[in-house]
Amino acid sequence: MLFNSFQFIFLFLPLCILGFVFIKRAGGLSWALSWLFVCSLMFYGWHAPQYIFLILSSVTLNFLISTRLMLKDALNKKMWLWFGVCLNLALLGYYKYANFFVGNMNDVFGSNHIVPNILLPIGISFFTFQQIAYLVDLSKQSQKLPSYRDYALFVTFFPQLIAGPIVHYREMIPQFNKINVNYSNLYLGLSIFFIGLFKKAVIADNLALYANPVFEGADRGEMMSFIPAWSAALAYTFQIYFDFSGYSDMAIGLARMFGIKMPENFRSPYRSLSIIDFWRRWHITLSRFLKDYLYIPLGGNRTSKPRRYLNLMIVMLLGGLWHGAGWSFIVWGALHGVYLIVNHTYRHMGQCMPIKIPDVLSWFVTFVSCVVAWVYFRATNFEAANNIVKSMFDFKNIELSHSVYDRVVPIVGGDYGLFSRSDISHFPSFEMLGMIAFAAFVCLFWTNTQGFFRNNDIVLRSEENNETPKRGVRVVWNDKSFFWLLSTAFIAAIAILSSNSKVQFIYFQF
């Protein structure tokens, strides 16, 4: 079920909340939590009921393994931990990567092995990582084992089940005992939810209307030119941000309706002045998982520089593969691995350099690097990605449509050998360029969601956040203001009317 569908907004969510309130009053919190667990399973199995059994089996097996991790015998505990981790990875590998690996083996060895058509269970990458983290944490720390119901709800809690944030059990399970639906939580949660829906339906989906045809054209081998290539790359760069951060806002808002705080997942990543900073702001809970459960076990910062850089590359390659079973995702991860290595090397060398690079140049290099990497993330093959990237940096001949050429060239006093008139395909309309500019303004200068609700403490904090831009628009939500009530209603109406349940969230495929 999609958060941006009418059946979720007008059917599932009201029934889930009303049922929770009624059952809690009639039978107590324990029964209400059981109701929430049942609702989460219904949410997960809406489009593919057969996978309810899969997630229940995964949850049950991991819970049984966790009981063995309470043993005092260190050797047995370690064996059960490895068994649990391998079991989770095997499940993920079969459903997500079997076709990819078999297809590549067929290409290399000329074989003809066939894998049955496997329907990828929604959210499997997220609940797999979540349960691996649970097993590892439980094996290292002396913790009370949660009940089966609490553990199952921790994994399947519908706001974060499909696409995160990737939560830890120590963040969520203690909050279940304090769960509460009241006017304050509902109003705050709905406000956050509809801001996320606005990001998705109004901004991300409209940017997709331009980005998708250009990338599809590149997939078909159509030649690109400078302006369409940059416009499509920028459109997708902002689309994926507003799509995923919109989903995260919706998840945070849904959880807050029940009085539960989720961890922060985005912190204005496109304001980053370095790639290191970018990964502290983009998909924060995934970065946390990769650091705590992969990078640090590989040696982290305790090793030599060459080994540290190798560890960074391994982590980013696996991070790319986690996103999808395709070489384009691996290339995206490799690019970010190279970016991080260059960034760390420069930081080490920069300590001896007398001149500091201006912030605006640092931001520009970081942002353009991210845009280039997103092209490989979005394209379905190398040829298409290379076609777009090559066109992005072909400054010799910038082709304009006839109407734009006739408008622009007289204004600038000539084409100066840079511009030419052409029957160019996929040339962006002024409306689409305006949408890209609006998206850039919001990303770079508007208060982010945590900053907007900073008086309400809406997320779990691992470090200082709630950043507001040093320059630009600073806005703070006020739950006692009639103006904000009307504004929230207006945003909700626009978001609902703009929603298209056929356009699913980008990260649902992961």
CA distance 181 to 312: 43
180: left (phi over 0), alpha (psi -120 to 50) or beta: beta
For residues 249 and 449, is the Cβ–Cβ distance under 8 A?
A: yes
Alpha helices by DSSP H, 110-225 = 124-140, 148-156, 158-161, 169-176, 183-198, 205-219
Which distant-in-sequence residues (6+ apart) come within 8 Å of 51 by Cβ? Answer: 44, 45, 119, 121, 122
Inter-residue contact 158 to 39 (CB < 8 Å): yes
Other beta carbons less than 10 A from residue 133's beta carbon: 20
SS (H, E, C) 476-503: CCCCCCHHHHHHHHHHHHHHHHHCCCCC
Residue 344 falls in the annotated catalytic set? no
Find residue 421's DSSP bridge partners: 400
Measured N-to-C along each axis, helices 305-323 and 124-140 cross at an angle, to the nearest 10 degrees, of 140
**Are 394 and 172 a contacting pair, CB within 8 Å?**
no
| 288-294: Cβ within 8 A, 24+ apart | 288/166, 288/263, 288/462, 289/129, 289/133, 289/166, 290/315, 290/318, 290/319, 291/315, 292/133, 293/132, 293/133, 293/136, 294/318
DSSP 112: -
Asked if 351 contacts 260 with a C-beta cutoff of 8 angstroms, the reply is no
User: What is the rounded distance in angstroms from the CA atom of residue 252 to the CA atom of residue 238?
Assistant: 21
Within 8 A by CB and 6+ apart from 152, the residues are: 37, 56, 59, 63
- Do 269 and 281 touch, CB atoms closer than 8 A? yes
User: 467: how many CB neighbours lie within 10 A of its CB?
Assistant: 15
Structure tokens at 371: 């845009």
- Active-site pick, 47, 168, 283, 323: 323
Look up residue 369 and give its two tokens. 């690097």
Which residues contact residue 155 at a Cβ distance below 8 angstroms, ignoring those fewer than 6 apart? 55, 58, 59, 62, 127, 130, 131, 161
Report d(CA 288, CA 427) in Å as an integer. 40
Q: What are the catalytic residues?
A: 323
